[in-house]
Amino acid sequence: MPKKIVAGNWKMNNDLSQTETLLKDLKKQVIPEDVTVMIAPSFTNLFKAFESTREHPIQVIAQNMHQSQKGAFTGEVSAGMLKSVGVQTVILGHSERRAYFNETDDLLAEKINTALENNMQAIFCIGEELRDRESGDHYEVIQNQLKNGLFHVSNDSWSRIMIAYEPVWAIGTGETASPQQVQEMHHYIRETIAKQYDRNIAKNVSILYGGSVKPGNAKEIFAKKDVDGGLIGGAALNAEDFMAIINAFG
């Protein structure tokens, strides 16, 4: 069975005191036992967030990391550094990283290897742009992102990989893919994994949806058969909204 996961991607929001306030509010809430909740604060707040959730089921994860183990890469953060502050999971290939920081499939393939070599888990993000969907190429784009960025990993590695399907046109735009569109693509992703690997791996991998998930639409999206959770941006910055989304799933 895939794990049910709701992950909050805080992006470049929340300084230290805002991080503390949001965490204080989240920690007051009861998290449904069958849902794994993750939050991804900025690098500077990971340690504080990890310390503050030590006794709490919320997992603290990173938004990105560098592909090298260490060295002369000014401004970058390594897997080892993340692990040393308690982080076990990293988001890789978010569309904002792909679009604004030129992260290519080849680079992401390296980052996935680094995460796996360091025994970390990864949430691997994929998603088509509006022009791909309008031209009917969205399945091909998704297939290529999977093939070029992810499908070199071994069968065993899949227990540490999650996928987030995030159509770029739905991120931060208030526009959500319809539950039907989400289900169709999640099903396609699962089938593509089954063809490349095997049905068991495909059945067990958690496939999250991301793109303007809100308390008002979460239930309908999470109810779809191949949706195992969500990667939440804007709505994860507000404890009440984030909890409502988690509870839409529990």
* Residues at the contact surface with ligand PGA, assessed by CB under 6 A: 9, 166, 171-172, 210-213, 231-235
What's the min distance (Å) between Cβ of 19 and ligand PGA? 18
Residue 142 CB neighbours (<10 A): 21
Q: In whole angstroms, how close is the CB of 74 to ligand PGA at the nearest point?
A: 26
Residue 121 CB contacts under 8 Å (≥ 6 apart), including other chains? 88, 89, 90, 115, 160, 161, 162
Q: How far is the CB of 232 from ligand PGA (least distance, A)?
A: 5
Residue 223 structure tokens: 């109810």
Residue closest to ligand PGA when measured from CB atoms: 233
Residue in 66, 94, 138, 186 annotated catalytic = 94
Residue with tokens 């988690």: 246
Q: Nearer Cβ to ligand PGA, position 161 or 218?
A: 218
Distance CA 216, CA 116 (A): 36
Nearer to ligand PGA, 37 or 232 (CB): 232
- Which region, left, alpha or beta, applies to residue 119 given φ > 0 means left and ψ of -120 to 50 means alpha? left
Q: How far is the CB of 161 from ligand PGA (least distance, A)?
A: 17
Closer of 128 and 166 to ligand PGA (Cβ)? 166
How many whole angstroms from its chain centre is CA 160? Answer: 12
Question: Measured from the CB atom, is 61 or 201 closer to ligand PGA?
Answer: 61
220 is known as an active-site residue: no
User: Does the active-site annotation cover 20?
Assistant: no
User: Degrees (nearest 5) of the Cα angle 175, 190, 8?
Assistant: 45
Q: Could you say which of 96, 103, 128, 166 is catalytic?
A: 166
Q: How far is 129 from 145, CA to CA, in rounded Å?
A: 12
The catalytic site residues sit at: 94, 166
